[in-house]
Structure formats: C-alpha cells, structure tokens
C-alpha cells in the first residue's frame, strides 16, 4: 500500500508512519512542523519506502503521485496550542481537510480523518458513545479545535455522500507515550517532567476531573484497523480506564519514585471550558474492528518515564 500521512511528524502521526513502514507500506509524510518535530521521524528517515515532504496542507498540495490511503493527522492538538495557534487550527481543520479529501477523491484513496473526543465537548453523557452529539461552546477558548474537528467530520461526511469518497472517521481519546514533547502542555508529559525534576505536580482545579488514557501503540493499531476495514465511522478509539487527575499525579509520583508533591493550582485562564469527565465507550470498535487496547496505564507510563529519562540523560 502507498499511504500519505498528513501530520506525519506529530506525536501520533509519527507512530503511525512507523507502523505502516513496519508492515511494508510505502509512506509519504507531510508536515509543516508548526508543532510536529523532525526528531519524531528519526527512525523513519532514510528507511526504504519513506519520503518526507515539508509542506503546510492549508496550501495547495503538490503532486506526490497516487495513494491507496490518505490519513489526516495534521493539526496542533494540545490545549496549550489552542491559545497559541487558534487560527492555524481552524484553517488546517477546514482548508487542510478539504485539500486532503479532494486529493483522496481524485486518486480513489481511502481517507482516514483523525477526529477527537473533543467533538463531545464537556460531555453530559458518560461514557461517550458515538451517538452522543456533544456539548460544545462555539465561542470558548477550546472552540478553535472542537469546532474545526466537528467541521472536519461534516466535511468528510459530505464528501462521502456527494462525491462517493471512501472515508472513515476515528474519534481519538487522550493518548500518551514516547515522542510527546516534555513541554507539550498535556497532562501526562507535564506530570512526568515535573516528577523527574522533583517539582510539585500541577494538578489544575479540584483534580477530580477525569480522563482515560490510551497508550500510543494501542492508538495507532486501532487507527490502522479502522483504515483497513470498510467501516465509515465515526468510531471511538481510546482506552476506557478512567482516572482522576489527582490519581494520575499520585500514580506518576509512585512510578518515578519521586520526591515531588501534588500541588493543587487554580485552573489557568487558557484552560477555560476544561471538560470535567471523559471516557470512551469502545463497544463499536470492539464489535466492528475486533480491536481493544492491551497496554495498561502503569505499564505504558513506565515505558514513557524510561523514555523521558533517557532523553534527559542524552542532553
Ligand atoms: N491538567 C492538569 N495539570 C496540567 C495539565 C493538565 O491538571 O499541568 C489537567 C487538565 O486540566 C485536564 C486534564 O489534565 O483536566 C487533561 O489535560 P490535557 O491537556 O492532557 O488534555 P485534554 O484532555 O484537556 O485535551
């Protein structure tokens, strides 16, 4: 298979590149490197069948040949990015998605849209199944990402209906693992970095808010199972084991043997609209893809902690 991975230099995108190359696919990765990092692709660069194109998919996409699959993972995704790059996020979610969809339609490729649990907003239904329509503030600080991803889903659905493009939509829930940047702003990377430095772990607000964390190898195996299927989605891809942020902080202190304490700090203003609970219902993924996550939180965290330690040691 020949695959185009937009956002191939990102956290999840680069793991997807490695999985596809590992099974013998040819992969072209496109990235603008606004938030993606070239270092995420160090194991792919130089490998047979891998090509890297530095390009912003909001600009017209050059002719890169035919593709069996087009995977759209291009977007900044950390809540810290929502304050830094709101216009870029809206543009890549709209114009970028449109350009990639047109390319897939022209070339007869299967198109996978990386959507998000953020389409559910601050959910009033728990756990979140794909039929829950969401509770999203259209003008709040998170709206650039939430609404861009909702618009993306609408665009994918219209392309499929009107032009017959072979599309699918994955709703990705919180994912963690190596290659998350230590300064990413997302909670797992932040807590591990703080624990390794012996600094207090910055639990925002009450710490009773929950998330459900999926290890990145599980996430990308779910995405590829969806790509290889004929399911149009949307399908939730995530790990349904739910934990409070206070519980996560305590677990990370324990696993790192850190002297750090848990510090409760007020929710920063740029985190306005922080969802209070989030947990995927993955019955659909289990039923139609035969997929479910296999890496437990403590095991995944230990691998990520080792990785952060080795990055710090190497400088
Ligand atoms: N969070 C926290 N301390 C931090 C960073 C995040 O307590 O230093 C909380 C944040 O308020 C949210 C949860 O951790 O409730 C997950 O945040 P993250 O940025 O990882 O992703 P989100 O699920 O909000 O997109």
Q: Is 289 domain-assigned?
A: no
Does residue 121 share a domain with residue 183?
Answer: no
164 pLDDT tier (thresholds 50, 70, 90): very high
Q: Is 288 domain-assigned?
A: no
Residue 228: the pLDDT is 98
Q: Whole-angstrom Cα distance, residue 157 to residue 177? A: 31
Does residue 251 share a domain with residue 137?
Answer: no
- Ligand 1: atom nearest CA of 80 is 19
Does residue 102 share a domain with residue 185?
Answer: no
Does residue 221 share a domain with residue 167?
Answer: yes
Residue 311: the pLDDT is 82
Q: Is 287 domain-assigned?
A: no
Q: Is 193 domain-assigned?
A: yes
Averaged pLDDT, 274-299:
98
For the chain, what is the mean pLDDT?
97
Residue 182: the pLDDT is 86
CA 245–ligand 1 middle distance (angstroms): 8
Here the CATH number for the domain that contains residue 204 is 3.90.25.10
Percent of the chain's residues with pLDDT above 70 = 99
* Residues 182-233: tens digit of each pLDDT: 888 999 999 999 999 999 999 999 999 999 999 999 999 999 999 999 999 9
Number of structural domains found in the chain:
2
Residue 65: the pLDDT is 97
Averaged pLDDT, 38-54:
97
Q: Whole-angstrom Cα distance, residue 143 to residue 137? A: 6
**pTM of the model as a whole:** 0.97
Residue 134 has pLDDT above 80, yes or no: yes
Here the CATH number for the domain that contains residue 95 is 3.40.50.720
Residue 314 has pLDDT above 70, yes or no: no
Range with the poorest average pLDDT among 19-28, 144-153, 182-191: 182-191
Does residue 252 share a domain with residue 109?
Answer: no
Residue nearest to atom 14 of ligand 1 (CA): 187
Nearest by Cα to 112 from 249, 192, 244, 220 = 220
Cα dihedral 39, 190, 241, 132 sign: negative
Q: Is 285 domain-assigned?
A: no
- Are 73 and 226 spatial neighbours (Cβ–Cβ below 8 Å)? no
CA 91–ligand 1 middle distance (angstroms): 24
Averaged pLDDT, 144-165:
98
Averaged pLDDT, 90-104:
98
- Ligand 1: atom nearest CA of 194 is 8
Q: Is 45 domain-assigned?
A: yes
Does residue 134 share a domain with residue 63?
Answer: yes
Averaged pLDDT, 140-169:
98
The H or E element containing residue 246 is helix 245-256
Q: State the catalytic residue, choosing from 120, 132, 145, 215.
A: 145
Q: Whole-angstrom Cα distance, residue 97 to residue 75? A: 10
Residue 96 has pLDDT above 90, yes or no: yes
Q: Is 253 domain-assigned?
A: yes
* Residues 241-267: tens digit of each pLDDT: 999 999 999 999 999 999 999 999 999
Does residue 192 share a domain with residue 56?
Answer: no
Residue 312 has pLDDT above 80, yes or no: no
Does residue 155 share a domain with residue 130?
Answer: yes
Q: How many CB atoms lie within 10 A of CB 141?
A: 18
Residue 18 has pLDDT above 60, yes or no: yes
Report which DSSP code applies to 280.
Answer: B
Residue nearest to atom 21 of ligand 1 (CA): 186
Give, for ligand 1, the residue of 75, 187, 194 to mutate: max count of ligand atoms closer than 8 Å to Cβ: 187
- Are 7 and 75 spatial neighbours (Cβ–Cβ below 8 Å)? yes
> Which residues approach ligand 1 with their CB closer than 6 A?
79, 174, 185-187, 190, 202-204, 209, 211, 245, 271, 274
Does residue 220 share a domain with residue 145?
Answer: yes
Q: Is 309 domain-assigned?
A: yes
- Are 172 and 237 spatial neighbours (Cβ–Cβ below 8 Å)? yes
CA 96–ligand 1 middle distance (angstroms): 27
What is the Cα 188 distance to its own chain's centre? Answer: 13
Could you confirm whether 215 is annotated as catalytic?
Answer: no
Domain that holds residue 85: 2-175+215-237
């Amino acid at each position: 298979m020949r695959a185009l991975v937009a956002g191939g230099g990102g956290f999840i995108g680069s793991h997807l590149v490695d999985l596809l190359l590992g099974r013998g696919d040819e992969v072209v990765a496109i990235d603008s490197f606004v938030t993606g990092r070239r270092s995420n692709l160090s194991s792919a660069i130089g490998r047979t069948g891998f090509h890297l194109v530095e390009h912003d998919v909001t600009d017209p996409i050059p002719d890169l040949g035919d593709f069996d699959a087009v995977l759209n993972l291009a977007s900044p995704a950390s809540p810290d990015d929502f304050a830094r790059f709101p216009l870029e996020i809206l543009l890549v979610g709209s114009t970028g998605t449109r350009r990639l969809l047109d390319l897939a339609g022209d070339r007869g490729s299967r198109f996978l849209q990386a959507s998000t649990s953020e389409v559910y907003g601050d959910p009033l239904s728990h756990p979140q199944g794909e039929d829950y329509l969401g509770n999203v503030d259209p003008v709040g600080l998170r709206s650039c990402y939430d609404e861009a991803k909702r618009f993306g889903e609408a665009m994918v659905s219209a392309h499929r209906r009107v032009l017959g493009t072979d599309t699918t939509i994955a709703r990705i829930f919180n994912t963690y693992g190596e290659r998350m940047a230590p300064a990413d702003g997302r909670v797992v990377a932040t807590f591990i970095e703080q624990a390794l430095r012996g600094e207090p772990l910055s639990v925002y607000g009450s710490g009773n808010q929950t998330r459900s964390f999926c290890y990145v190898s599980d996430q990308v195996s779910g995405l590829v199972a969806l790509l290889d299927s004929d399911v149009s989605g949307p399908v939730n891809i995530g790990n349904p084991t739910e934990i409070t942020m206070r519980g996560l902080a305590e677990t990370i202190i324990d696993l790192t043997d850190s002297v750090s304490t848990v510090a409760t700090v007020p929710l920063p203003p740029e985190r306005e609209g922080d969802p209070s609970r989030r947990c995927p219902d993955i019955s659909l993924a289990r039923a139609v893809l035969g997929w479910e996550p296999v890496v437990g939180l403590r095991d995944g965290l230990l691998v990520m902690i080792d990785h952060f330690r080795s990055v710090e040691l190497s400088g």
